[in-house]
Structure formats: C-alpha cells, structure tokens
Amino acid sequence: MNERPATPAGPEARGGRAPRPAPSRSAIPDEMDAWVVARPGPIGSGPLERVRLPVPVPGPGEVLVEVEACGVCRTDLHLAEGDLSPRRPRTVPGHEVVGRVVASGPASERLAPGSRVGVAWLRSTCGRCRHCLRGAENLCPFSTYTGWDADGGYAGYLTVPEDYAYPLPEDVPAEKLAPLLCAGIIGYRALLRCDLPPGGRLGIYGFGGSAHLTAQVALAQGATVHVLTRSARARELARTLGAASAGGDTDAPPEPLDAAILFAPVGELVPVALAALDRGGVLAVAGIHLSDIPPLNYQRHLFQERTLRSVTANTRADGRAYLDLASAHPPRVTTVPYPFDSADRALDDLAAGRFEGAAVLIEDANAHERT
C-alpha cells in the first residue's frame, strides 16, 4: 500500500515537467489489449475477459487518450457482477483514467496532442434539457457514462469528448491522480449533498477509496469525522487520517451526527445511519447501487426533520471544484497498484475487501505492440 500526497496543481504553477510530445498517428497501433465484461455475474465466475480490440478512432469533438493508469471503482464491480444492467455488450469498464491525448477528431480544438488528461464517469450530456440548463447536468436523462455507455479505461486507449476531459498536472504520478477522478469527485458531491454545517459532526459509513478522500476534505474544512466500517484495517487508516473515532459499521457514534454519508452499498445501514443523526440531520447515499433498504420507523429514523438523499453522478463543475480543492489541500491518497493484466484480480480483491484505499491499474508501456 503506497501513500503520498497528490497535488493536482498545474506544472506552470509548480515547476513541473512540460507535456510530452504525442506520437504521430502512424505510431498508434491498430489493436490494443483490453478487458471486457463478457458474462456479467459473481466475480468468482470470471465475468471479465481479456481481449484484443481495435484502437478506437476519435469522432467529432473527441480525443484519443493513451492510458497511463485507471482506478478500480466499485461501480466497475457492480457492472461486472450485473448489479448494473449492461447498456451494451462486452463493455470495457473503467472511468478513473489518467492518460495522454495522442490524436484528435474533427472539430477538436481545446486539448492539444500530448496533453495529460483525466477521463471520469460522466461522458456526455445533452446540454438542452431543463436539468442541464439549470446546472444539474448529472440528472440529464440523455447522459452517457465512461465504462458503461462507452468503452472505458481497462484498455490501452479510449476516446472521450474533449469537453468532458479534465486537464491534469505533469508532475504527479498517475497512480495518485486516478482515484481523484471518481472516488474523489463523487465523494465531494456526496459531501455537498449531506449539508454538513461548518464545524459539524460527520459520520462516514464504509471507508474505501472514496470515503478516505472525502474524510480528508471534511477534516480540512474543520469538521469532526466519525468513521463506521466493518474493516479493522480501514478503521486504523481512518484514525491515521485524523478521524475523531472509528467503530464498527453498526456501532453508534460517540455523539449525534449533523450529517452522514453512506459509501458502503449496504441498504441495511440506512436505518442505522438515520438513527445516528441529530435533529435536522441529513444522510446522503453515495453509491450508484444499494441493496434493499429495510423498513424505516418514522419516529426513530425520519421524524424531527431528518432527511435521506441519494447522490447521482456529478457535474463537470463538481469535478473542477474538487480538483481545485485537492490542489489547495493535497490529499493523502492511499493506493494499491495492480498490473494491467491483473484487472480481474483487482476486482476480486475489491469484492473481498482485501485492501484499504483505492486499487489502480498501472499500464505497462511495453504491453502494446506498435505497428
């Protein structure tokens, strides 16, 4: 497990390396290694399959990105196991992608070849519906997502609309940047959704890749953070990062909570977290998938203006705000690197809770044939 601060400040401001020149189009291979969800089902049944695919060609407004690293998100596990219904057959998962622009499609002008970029979950929105027009593009009914509607970063290359790519610094390791692109961003939105007051008491249920980054944002803002998780190693990590307490996932925190975020995809914890809230407290559920919630007792769980909210994806504004915040307050990013050819093992380890922090696939530069 590797730990070091990730500081996404631009190279101009921090004296980082200049962008590397992009390869010529002729140097881009015709094919690439990739992992696809071949047969959604329990991770032990081997839903992922390693394949050779054509390198995609960027369309209008898109860029082609060569992958340096890709974070392993629980959403990838939900897709592999069928908790999220596949939207297309044999999808390449992965939406925490750090890479470099190597080619541009027609009418792509914002990102020059050689630019280092991040590719996150939100891939496109319509820009015209009432949700987009009021700044809630995460609720766009026509939104598409990396690694679900379009192939993602468990591959050598992927395409992305350039307006949905985030510029990244040159001088931070890809392994440390990748988790910021979903775990960090969605945790940041969950923190906004739970309406934590200044100096408030925050409960965090589950403590994986997203939760350990979100806790650091809350602590930097002056909150008191209580972590509730079943993993003893995660509880130790929480204390190391500055949590005021760390207990089991069904334990009561040592004081009433002003707000709570549920990161664990366990519906049985919803009434547990609601019962821990003070009057007027808010519980935000951060995951895209949640097991069934048991019956709630109105007096115990909702009365006295307690609120239960979901968190749906993020906006690009959320992404920019979080990356700016991470630049001002560099998080301690706890990562576990896996070679690209071990993506199936990384998901299996995630399902079994064998590591703390975030898993990241590291692309082997020699793994792709040049033709």
171-216 residue pLDDT tens: 899 999 999 999 999 999 999 999 999 999 999 999 999 999 999 9
pLDDT band for position 14 (cuts 50, 70, 90): very low
| pLDDT of amino acid 330 | 85
| pLDDT of amino acid 366 | 36
Q: Nearest-CA neighbor of 350 among 248, 292, 265?
A: 265
- Are 231 and 353 in contact by the 8 Å Cβ rule? The answer is yes
Written as six digits, the tokens of 307 are 């609120």
Alpha-carbon gap, residue 93 to 162, rounded angstroms: 19
Report the pLDDT averaged over residues 340-369. Answer: 83
Contacts of 243 (CB under 8 A, 6+ apart): 204, 215, 219, 225, 226, 227
| pLDDT(7) > 80 | no
| pLDDT(4) > 90 | no
| pLDDT of amino acid 363 | 73
Q: Nearest-CA neighbor of 158 among 55, 37, 35, 21?
A: 55
pLDDT band for position 327 (cuts 50, 70, 90): confident
First to last CA, the chain: 36
CA distances from 160 to 67, 140, 312, 313, 351 (A): 12, 18, 21, 17, 28
Residue 259 belongs to what H/E stretch? strand 257-262
Report the percent of the chain where pLDDT is more than 90. Answer: 87
Q: Which residues of 55-79 are buried (b: 16+ CB within 10 A; e: fewer)?
A: bbebeebbbbbbbbbbbbbbbbbbb
Phi/psi of residue 364, nearest 5 degrees: -85, 115
- Are 7 and 172 in contact by the 8 Å Cβ rule? The answer is yes
Write down the mean pLDDT value for the chain. Answer: 92
Q: Nearest-CA neighbor of 331 among 215, 202, 167?
A: 215
- Tens digits of per-residue pLDDT, 222-255? 999 999 999 999 999 999 999 999 999 999 999 9
| pLDDT of amino acid 21 | 59
- Are 55 and 107 in contact by the 8 Å Cβ rule? The answer is no
| pLDDT(12) > 50 | no
Report the pLDDT averaged over residues 263-281. Answer: 98
- Tens digits of per-residue pLDDT, 101-123? 999 999 999 999 999 999 999 99
**Cα 161 vs. chain centroid, distance in angstroms?**
18
- Tens digits of per-residue pLDDT, 31-72? 999 999 999 999 999 999 999 999 999 999 999 999 999 999
| pLDDT of amino acid 192 | 98
pLDDT band for position 364 (cuts 50, 70, 90): low
pLDDT band for position 329 (cuts 50, 70, 90): confident
Q: Which domains does the chain have, with CATH numbers?
A: 2-182+314-362 (3.90.180.10), 185-310 (3.40.50.720)
Alpha-carbon gap, residue 31 to 315, rounded angstroms: 33
CA distances from 87 to 59, 191, 256, 312, 334 (A): 20, 29, 41, 17, 32
- Tens digits of per-residue pLDDT, 283-300? 999 989 999 999 999 999
Residues recorded for the chain:
371
User: Residue 36 forms beta bridges with which residues?
Assistant: 49
Written as six digits, the tokens of 366 are 């020699």
Angle at 68 between CA 347 and CA 333, to 5 degrees: 65
Task: Report the range of poorest mean pLDDT among 14-23, 145-154, 202-211, 338-347.
Answer: 14-23
- Are 68 and 181 in contact by the 8 Å Cβ rule? The answer is no
Written as six digits, the tokens of 120 are 């996150």
Instruction: Give the β-pairing of 277-285 and 257-262.
Output: parallel
